[in-house]
Amino acid sequence: MLTTHVNEKLSKHNSSVSYSQANAVLYGAIRHVKETREEGKLSEVAMAIVFILEAFKSQDRVQWEDVKEASRAHGSLEKYLDSFT
């Protein structure tokens, strides 16, 4: 599911993410949630999707706070994905 959502958006830019790259980000999201105890606000999969797409947009290093802010700005993962160009 993670790579499907991300690669659907990145394909419009002739780019993609591999399964192993997506998994690395997902495990980072899982670790972040455990360390910060911010369970339930945004799923780890949703965090990973936003993280990858935000990194692509900025072409720079992304922090988990950036992910949370981008998610809050759109209200839901679905709206975030709809807005991603």
First to last CA, the chain: 19
Instruction: Say how far apart CA 22 and CA 18 lie, in whole Å.
Output: 6
Among 42, 36, 52, smallest CA distance to 2 is for 52
Question: Which residues have CB under 8 Å from 43's CB, separation 6+?
Answer: none
The reported pLDDT for the residue numbered 39 is 61
pTM for this structure? 0.91
The reported pLDDT for the residue numbered 42 is 83
The average pLDDT across 4-25 equals 95
The pLDDT tens digits for 33-84 are 888 876 667 889 999 999 999 999 999 999 999 999 998 899 889 999 999 9
Please report which confidence band the pLDDT of residue 1 belongs to, taking 50, 70 and 90 as the band edges: confident
